[in-house]
Every structure is written in structure tokens, then in C-alpha cells.
Amino acid sequence: MRRRHFITVCAGAVAVPRLAGAQKAMPIIGVLLYGTKQLHQEHPLVTGLRDAGLVDGKTATILLREAEGRPERLPALAAELVAMTPDIIITAGPQPIRAVKEATSTIPIVMAIVSDPVTYGFVASMSRPAGNLTGMSMVNTELSSKRIALLREVAPDISRIAVFTDPTMGPQGLDETATAAHALGVNLQILPLTATEIPHGFTEAKRGQAQALLVMPTPFYNLPEVRQQLGALAVLQGLPSMCEEISYVRDGCLLSYGPDFSAMWRRAAVYANKILKGAKPSELPVEQPTKFELFVNLRTAKALGLAVPPMLLVQADDVIE
């Protein structure tokens, strides 16, 4: 992977002055991210904003705050952003979204990625959000069924799957996953784990005689060191694994199937541009993805002694060899 150039933003909580008089100030866009060093020049949010004519330092000011993988920092970072009075805030994941929502009821918030904003209480409904939040949601009742079915295409004898889920995410997606598993004749071993408890999860999965692993979506697992640990331990324990998106597959997960997250980030930029031009978040429906992506790691399949069906490789959007 080639080296990226990262956006450098002053970390101090100094408000950005707005221009006075007839000259119109550049729009100020706040961005709150859970991880660190993510918002490089080729990030889909940055390219999406650029396509909309919003270029940091030229036609817009981007204020970036990153929690560096520490959820306890989110409320303070959200409050810091709000104190700088941006015109809009873009964020992703239920924990960062909740932190920003609790920090302001007036500044428009665009959710780039979230599973079920209605159940989380972020919006009144998908069609009419009603408050100061709108954006993208990856609600899809068929997603869990497809993930389990894909696992069984690679390992047909699977009858028991360990499910790693972030306890701070709540029950999001677990009911759908349980329903899908029952329909496919698969038993689930639900294991609520924080990112630091991943090794313990594999011990419990082995004790529970799991034959495969399903990793539920959460930003708390989607950090390089956590993804690498998940991939390595899954191979060590002989567990075919299904994860959220391609970053996991690059770090050793066998499969991933999910929405096109890059497209969701780009759509978030489109929404931000609409709001900056006068649209109200309350009147912009929450969008759902229409494209889903499959990625396969053949190196992991070989390490597990599995033969990936040729038709599955044809369907894959990318194959890691």
C-alpha cells in the first residue's frame, strides 16, 4: 500500500474566526473520527468534498478531531468541535454520532455510516429525520443471512459460529443474525467483547466448539492492530472468518461482505454540500446503500486448508492472493 499524505489540522481548541463585512466566510466543516490518521487526501470523504468544490484551505476549512481509538475521548472532542461553531459536522459510527448529537441540537450533523439510526434514537424516521441529523445508514435485513451463507460456501460443514460483537454497540444486527442463522440451520455463540478482550473471545470460541467466526460491525474493532489480531488468531484457531469490510481481509480475515463504505463517505460529502447550500437535515431522508462488496483472502484460505469455490471468486470484488 502506498504511503498517504495526511491532512494536518491544528489540535488546539481555538475557534476559527469568520470573515466580517461583505466578504463571505468559507464554510467550516467539522469531522469527528474514532480512529487516527484516517483523513488522508484520497479518503472518499475528502475526495467527495473536493468534487463538491469544498477544498480544505481554499474553499472550505476542515476541522478534524480523532479519538485515536479511545472512546472515552469522544464527548470532549465533540464538545470541542461544537465550541468552534462549524457550519456542519460529519462523523460515523454510533458512538461518535451520539457524542456529537449530545453536544449540539442546532449544528447540522451528517452521519456517514451507521447501522440503524432510528433504533439508536438519532432520527425520528428514515424518510423524515426531523432533527439536525441525517446521512447514510447500512440497515439491511438480508446482510446477516448473506454473510452466513457465504461462510458456508467456503466451509459447507459449518454448524456453529462464534459471533464477536462490541457490547457498546447494543443489540444492533444480532436479532437479524440469529434469525438468519436459524433459517440456515446454524447455531450461534454470541460473545460480547471489547477490542482488548479479543484473545479471550477466541478462548471462549474454542471452548464452545465454534467452527467459524462472524465479526459484527463496530469502529472499535476496525483499527489496524485489532484487525491484525483478529486475522492472525482466527487462522491460528482454524476458524474461517467473515468480517465487515476489505480492511479486515487485507489483515487476514477470510471473507468480508458489506456495503461500499467508500460510496457512503462520498454520499456524506454530497449531503454536507446540500446542507451548506441551504437544505435542512430534517428534510433529507436517510439513505441506504444499494451496492454491497465481497472480498476474499486466498492466503488465509490456503492457511486454513480451504478451497474457495471458483464461482465465489468470480463474484468477488477483489481477491487477496
Q: What is the DSSP secondary structure assignment for residue 196, as one 8-state letter? A: G
Domain-wise residue ranges, the chain: 28-139+261-283, 143-258+292-320
- More confident position, 142 or 283: 283
Residue 85 has pLDDT above 50, yes or no: yes
Express each pLDDT in 110-142 by its tens digit: 999 998 899 889 999 999 999 999 999 986 657
CA distance 256 to 235: 15
Which range (11-20, 37-46, 105-114) has the least confidence? 11-20
CA distance 29 to 245: 27
% the chain with pLDDT above 90? 74
Q: Tell me the average pLDDT across 140-157.
A: 87
> Residues 243, 250, 287, CA angle at the centre, nearest 5°?
50
Express each pLDDT in 53-80 by its tens digit: 999 999 999 999 999 888 899 999 999 9
pLDDT score, position 174: 84
Residue 19 has pLDDT above 50, yes or no: no
Which numeric CATH code is attached to 143-258+292-320?
3.40.50.2300
**So what's the architecture of 28-139+261-283 in CATH?**
3-Layer(aba) Sandwich (3.40)
pLDDT bin (cut points 50, 70, 90) of residue 17 is very low
> Residue 162: which of 68, 241, 58 has the closest Cα?
241
pLDDT score, position 140: 60
Q: Tell me the average pLDDT across 92-120.
A: 94
Q: What is the DSSP secondary structure assignment for residue 159, as one 8-state letter? A: -
pLDDT bin (cut points 50, 70, 90) of residue 24 is low
CA distance 4 to 37: 10
CA distance 241 to 295: 12
pLDDT score, position 39: 86
Same fold for the domain at 28-139+261-283 and the one at 143-258+292-320?
Answer: yes
Q: Tell me the average pLDDT across 151-177.
A: 88
Residue 199 has pLDDT above 80, yes or no: yes
pLDDT score, position 1: 38
Express each pLDDT in 210-238 by its tens digit: 999 999 988 889 889 999 999 999 999 99
**H helices then E strands: how many in the chain?**
12, 12
> Residues 306, 312, 313, CA angle at the centre, nearest 5°?
85
Side chain identity at residue 271, one-letter code: Y
Residue 11 has pLDDT above 60, yes or no: no
CA distance 91 to 320: 29
pLDDT score, position 253: 98
- More confident position, 250 or 38: 250
Side chain identity at residue 41, one-letter code: Q
pLDDT score, position 148: 94
Most confident of 7-11, 12-16, 209-213, 222-226: 209-213
pLDDT score, position 143: 84
